[in-house]
Amino acid sequence: MYMSGMCMWDMETTASQLAIVFYNKRIVYGLPLFLLDMSLSLSFGNHWSFRPNRGPTVCISQENCSIGLGKRQETKRQSEILEYDTGLNAIKTDSQKVKDYGLPPLVSALKASAEENAASFHFPGHNRGHAAPSSLRQLIGVRPFLHDLPELPELDNLFAPEGPILEAQKQAAELFGASETWFLVGGSTCGVQAAIMATCLPGDTLILPRNSHISAISAMILSGVLPKYIVPEYDHNWDIAGGITHLQVEKAIKELEMEGRKPAAVLVISPTYHGVCSNIGAIAELCHTHKIPIIVDEAHGAHFGFHHQLPISALAQGADLVVQSTHKVLCSLTQSSMLHMSGNLVDRERICWCLQTLQSSSPSYLLLASLDAARAHLSDSQETVFNKAVELTLEAKNIIKKIRGIAVLDLPNISNFPAIDPLRVTAGVWRLGLSGFEADDILCRDFKVVSELVGTRSITFAFNLGTKREHVLRLVSGLKYLSENFSASDNTENRAVDVVCSAPFNDISMSLSPREAFFAKKSKIGIEDSLGKICGELICPYPPGIPVLIPGEIITERALNYLLHVKSKGAIISGAADHLLSSLLVCHD
């Protein structure tokens, strides 16, 4: 392939970029630029771009990978270019002129594109629903297929946004208080991974709580980052983990300093799955005095700040990178999330690069448009949107608290932390002599009440904008039924505490880094022979998705007891090759 062009980027940066190959403006494949540079003539100036004289169109730009179009596409683009008019919320094309749907930017663009009478010869193969599989079409109708479009010119490009995606992301940044926002199609999982990979280099140390989501562990495997864990507060009565404090972060920074190391970033999970919030303001202030970026996994807190009784958002408290699962409490489609940036400690180019590395090259526009729609849903009535949901939850909590034998997790239970999400209702059932799993089974089977999270001693219910009073009444009836039909004898009430053990977070011994262990030679051995060996897999009971053993750690008796206990209580063991736990994967020494 012959190429000519201009480049004003340093060679090191250049070699680390992917050349993105487009066909009909859709990314076809990417290949390392250094593979192309034999035929690429480079010169240094203010801009850079290059284009082949035949074959698929190739283009890169430093700023945002803007697309250089081949002749055919360029002509098309000039005659049919879509301009997004932010003031009008409208999409303009030469053929359409102005369409003002009064819809959010990306939703508008998707509607306009789907309404075109297009002869489509592009992916996906269901061809705008013409070949939609009938079983699914019967279930959801043809409209989702009609709008399941690829990266057409008028729909912008997630990795080089300059039209409706850019505008939608800007509006989200403004609403959430970020300097920049990226829409994600790989959930908060890819946001957490990108945030860690963009702030830490291989061999760097990341301070993070032990109860981090699995995505933080996979980020360390992908990047070669080393963990410095903070053991979160643990409430034995509830058998749940809380947040972390700025004093714990300070201690971790000092301990690293004594070893001559400085953390590249601090990751905090706030709120936790149970809604417990850490004091992000205090941790951010501490991190910033050391010029360390703070990443907040706010997967469960995208709604924070949108009601006076909801906790303050991490961005409002000074976090540098914040990842939110918009699909969890807010109303976008499953898998759609956002990554927000603030301040100047993080390099935005590295974020872009990591996101492009981690995400699909065919992002779903249904997911992207759902993020835009969820943002607009909030923007339209941000002062009042959560009034009803908060009111209903507080009402429900007050009733549930009064049911004999049922406890409700609230601030007094977690006194070291500044806030708890009022929309997360965790009901403790141990006084009924039931485990959370047993109680959950009854609620689900007999009342069709489906919870969000089950623990050994509690069940967590997620309230949201769609929660209906009728469903809350059903939940209350279910809990009353449990209360009337079960009671703890003296020895069953404390059954969970007696048998186990809290989660084995504080006696970790790491023999290999997560990445070294991930790639090490391994063998499967009986669980009875695994004590003292190096764990070769990530073992994580789900829920709540807190890893108990991470690749590279020595297998302890406490970890084994805990795993067997939660499994006997009904937890699903994820990550383990043998999820029945009769064997474990261990690394060769």
CB of 315 to ligand PLP, least distance (A): 16
Of 19 and 323, which CB lies nearer to ligand PLP in the complex structure? Answer: 323
Among 153, 187, 242, 504, binds ligand PLP (CB under 6 A): 187
Residue spans of beta strands (DSSP E) within 62-184: 83-85, 90-93, 97-100, 180-184
Cα–Cα distance, 304 to 301 (Å, whole number): 5
CB of 86 to ligand PLP, least distance (A): 28
Q: How far is the CB of 324 from ligand PLP (least distance, A)?
A: 9
Q: Which two tokens stand for residue 208?
A: 């993070």
Supply φ then ψ for residue 38, to 5 degrees: -65, -35
Measured from the CB atom, the residue of 161 and 271 that comes closer to ligand PLP is 271
Distance of closest approach, residue 229 Cβ to ligand PLP, in angstroms: 15
Binding ligand PLP by CB under 6 A: which of 57, 108, 169, 189? 189
CB of 218 to ligand PLP, least distance (A): 11
Cis amide prior to 543 (ω within 30 degrees): yes
> And the tokens for 104?
């959010």
Q: Helix 187-199 and helix 348-358: axis angle, to 10°?
A: 130
Residues 203-222 that bind ligand PLP (CB under 6 A): 213, 215
Q: Is 364 in the site for ligand PLP (CB under 6 A)?
A: no
Is 295 among the residues that bind ligand PLP (CB under 6 A)? no
Nearer to ligand PLP, 241 or 427 (CB): 241
* Amino acid sitting at position 63: E
Q: Is 192 in the site for ligand PLP (CB under 6 A)?
A: yes
| CB closer to ligand PLP, 297 vs 537 | 297
Please say whether the beta carbons of 324 and 297 come within 8 A: no
Residue from the set 89, 171, 313, 325 that interacts with ligand PLP by CB under 6 A = 325
Is residue 337 close enough to count as binding ligand PLP by CB under 6 A?
yes
Residue closest to ligand PLP, measured at CB: 187
Residue closer to ligand PLP by CB (options 108, 325) is 325
* DSSP-based three-state secondary structure for 308: coil
Shortest reach from residue 327's CB to ligand PLP, in Å: 6
Q: What is the DSSP string of 72-96?
A: HHHHHHHHH--EEETTTTEEEETTT
Q: Using the CB atoms, write b or e for 237-246: b if 16+ within 10 Å.
A: ebbbbbbbbb
Least spacing, CB of residue 276 vs ligand PLP, in Å:
11
How far, rounded to the nearest angstrom, does the alpha carbon of residue 86 sit from its chain's CA centroid? 28
Sequence-distant (≥ 6) Cβ neighbours of residue 471 within 8 angstroms: 449
Of the ranges 161-169, 182-190, 377-385, 470-478, which one interacts with ligand PLP (CB under 6 A)? 182-190
The continuous run of DSSP H or E covering 440 comes out as: helix 436-447
Which among 2-10, 181-189, 305-313, 444-452 is the span making contact with ligand PLP, rule CB under 6 A?
181-189
3-class SS string, 354-403: HHHHHCCCCCCHHHHHHHHHHHHHHHHCCCCCCHHHHHHHHHHHHHHHCC
Among 103, 146, 269, 517, binds ligand PLP (CB under 6 A): 269
Q: At what angle do helices 187-199 and 214-223 cross, to 10 degrees?
A: 40
Chain-centre distance for alpha carbon 479: 31
297 touches ligand PLP by CB under 6 A? yes
Shortest Å, Cβ 187 to ligand PLP? 2
Residue 269, sorted as left (phi over 0), alpha (psi -120 to 50) or beta, turns out to be: beta
CB nearer to ligand PLP: pick between 89 and 193: 193
Q: Which of 123, 145, 168 is nearest to 25 (CA)?
A: 123
Nearer to ligand PLP, 409 or 479 (CB): 409
Min separation Cβ 130 and ligand PLP, Å: 32
Q: Smallest distance, Å, CB 210 to ligand PLP?
A: 13
C-alpha–C-alpha distance, residues 481 and 136, integer Å: 38
Closest to ligand PLP by CB, 14 vs 456, is: 456
Asked if 18 touches ligand PLP (CB under 6 A), the answer is: no
3-class DSSP state of 510: strand
Is 421 a binder of ligand PLP (CB under 6 A)? no
Does 188 interact with ligand PLP (rule: CB under 6 A)? yes
Q: Interaction with ligand PLP in 498-557: which residues (CB under 6 A)?
A: 545
Q: Is 182 in the site for ligand PLP (CB under 6 A)?
A: no
Quick count: other Cβ atoms within 10 Å of Cβ 72?
Answer: 10
Tokens of 5: 């062009």
Interstrand relation of 57-58 and 18-23 (parallel, antiparallel or unpaired): antiparallel
- The pairing of strands 321-324 and 294-297 is parallel
Determine if 299 is a binding residue for ligand PLP (CB under 6 A). Answer: yes
**Binding piece for ligand PLP, criterion CB under 6 A, among 26-34, 150-158, 183-191, 560-568:** 183-191
Task: Please report which helix (H) or strand (E) contains residue 227, including its range.
Answer: strand 226-230
CA distance 448 to 61: 54
Smallest separation (angstroms) from ligand PLP to the CB of 93: 34
306 near ligand PLP, rule: CB under 6 A: no
Scored b (16 or more CB within 10 A) or e, 458-470 reads: bbbbbbebebeee
Quick note: the x/- pattern for ligand PLP over 424-453, rule CB under 6 A, is: ------------------------------
Total number of residues that touch ligand PLP (CB under 6 A): 13
- Return the number of the residue (37 or 235) whose C-beta is nearest ligand PLP: 235
Distance of closest approach, residue 424 Cβ to ligand PLP, in angstroms = 12
- 3-state percent breakdown (helix, strand, coil) of the chain, nearest 5: 35, 20, 45
Considering the complex, state which of residue 298 and residue 320 has its C-beta at the smaller distance from ligand PLP. Answer: 298
Nearer to ligand PLP, 405 or 544 (CB): 544
Residues that bind ligand PLP (CB under 6 A): 187-189, 192, 213, 215, 269, 273, 297, 299, 325, 337, 545
